[in-house]
C-alpha cells in the first residue's frame, strides 16, 4: 500500500471568476460589479492563505457483496449503500483519497460571519469549497492519466455523506492514512477538521468508466457534485 502525496498553490488551480459567479447563481456576464470585486478580493486572500495538500492510497483486491451493498478492502468493510455499489461494482481496485485547503480559509469565513460580514463570509466559504474540489480534480485527473497508460479506467469520486453513504464511515477511510495526514483530523461525529477538506473513494478497473454523476438516483438536492462537469 503506497501513499502518494500532492501539494498545490491556489494560484495555480483553475479558479475562474465565472465559475465562482455561477456557483452563486449568476449566469455569465450578469454578476454585479460590486459582487465581482468582493469575489476577486476573497479569491486573492484565499490564494495567499491556503495550504492545499492531499493524498491517494490504492488498494486491491476488492471484494464486493451485492446482498449487503458493502465492499471489503484491506480487511475493512465499507457499507457504501446501493447507489454507490452500482457505480463501483465493476472495480478491481480502489483509490482512497484525502484533500484539504488547509485551516485558514474556513476559519476566516467563520470569523467574518461571526462579525456579521455574512456576504464576505459566504463568498470566502464558497471559494474554500471550490479550492479543495478543484485540487481534488487535479489529483483525480493525474490518477486517470497514469492508469490509462496501463489500460485501466476510473470511476467518479464519492465521499461519505453523499448518495446514502454514512458520514460515520469516514472513520474507516481515515484508518488507511497516517494519523493527522495533511493536518486533517475527525471530530467525534466523524466531521473533518479543517472543514474545507474532502475524503472518499474512486473505483479502478478495466470495465469501469468516469461519467456524469447519477444525480437523478439521489435525493440529496444540495450535493456539491450535482451538475458538476465530468471530463470524459
CA distances from 65 to 79, 80, 85, 128, 168 (A): 10, 10, 9, 36, 20
The pLDDT tens digits for 107-148 are 999 999 999 999 999 999 999 999 999 999 999 999 999 999
Cα angle 12, 18, 19 (rounded to 5 degrees) comes to 70
Q: What is the pTM assigned to this prediction?
A: 0.88
How far, in Å, CA of 232 to CA of 227, rounded?
15
Closest CA to 96 of 36, 42, 65, 54: 54
- Among candidate residues 198, 54, 50, the one with its CA nearest the CA of residue 127: 50
10-19, 84-93, 94-103 — most confident range: 94-103
13-45 per-position pLDDT tens digit: 999 999 999 999 999 889 999 999 999 999 999
CATH number assigned to the domain covering 3-217: 3.40.109.40
pLDDT over threshold 50, residue 178: yes
**pLDDT tens-digit map of 184-232:** 999 999 999 999 999 999 999 999 998 865 544 445 445 555 455 554 4
Distance of alpha carbon 7 from alpha carbon 47, whole angstroms: 14
Q: Report percent pLDDT > 70 for the chain.
A: 91
- Quick one: pLDDT at residue 223? 52
Mean per-residue pLDDT of the chain: 91
Cα-Cα end-to-end distance for the chain: 28
Amino acid at each position: 500500500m503506497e501513499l502518494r502525496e500532492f501539494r498545490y498553490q491556489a494560484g495555480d488551480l483553475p479558479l475562474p471568476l465565472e465559475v465562482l459567479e455561477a456557483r452563486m447563481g449568476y449566469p455569465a456576464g450578469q454578476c454585479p460589479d460590486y459582487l465581482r470585486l468582493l469575489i476577486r478580493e476573497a479569491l486573492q486572500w484565499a490564494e495567499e492563505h491556503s495550504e492545499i495538500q492531499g493524498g491517494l492510497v490504492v488498494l486491491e483486491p476488492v471484494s464486493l457483496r451485492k446482498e449487503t451493498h458493502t465492499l471489503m478492502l484491506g480487511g475493512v468493510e465499507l457499507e457504501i449503500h446501493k447507489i454507490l455499489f452500482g457505480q463501483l461494482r465493476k472495480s478491481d481496485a480502489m483509490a482512497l483519497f484525502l484533500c484539504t485547503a488547509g485551516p485558514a480559509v474556513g476559519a476566516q469565513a467563520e470569523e467574518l460571519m461571526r462579525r456579521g460580514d455574512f456576504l464576505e463570509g459566504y463568498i470566502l466559504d464558497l471559494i474554500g469549497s471550490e479550492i479543495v474540489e478543484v485540487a481534488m480534480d487535479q489529483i483525480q485527473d493525474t490518477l486517470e492519466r497514469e492508469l490509462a497508460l496501463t489500460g485501466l479506467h476510473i470511476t467518479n469520486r464519492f465521499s461519505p455523506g453523499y448518495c446514502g453513504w454514512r458520514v460515520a464511515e469516514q472513520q474507516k477511510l481515515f484508518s488507511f492514512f497516517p494519523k493527522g495526514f495533511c493536518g486533517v483530523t475527525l471530530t467525534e461525529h466523524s466531521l473533518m477538521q479543517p472543514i474545507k477538506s474532502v475524503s472518499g473513494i474512486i473505483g479502478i478497473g478495466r470495465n469501469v468508466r468516469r461519467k456524469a454523476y447519477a444525480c437523478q438516483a439521489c435525493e440529496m438536492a444540495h450535493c456539491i457534485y450535482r451538475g458538476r462537469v465530468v471530463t470524459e
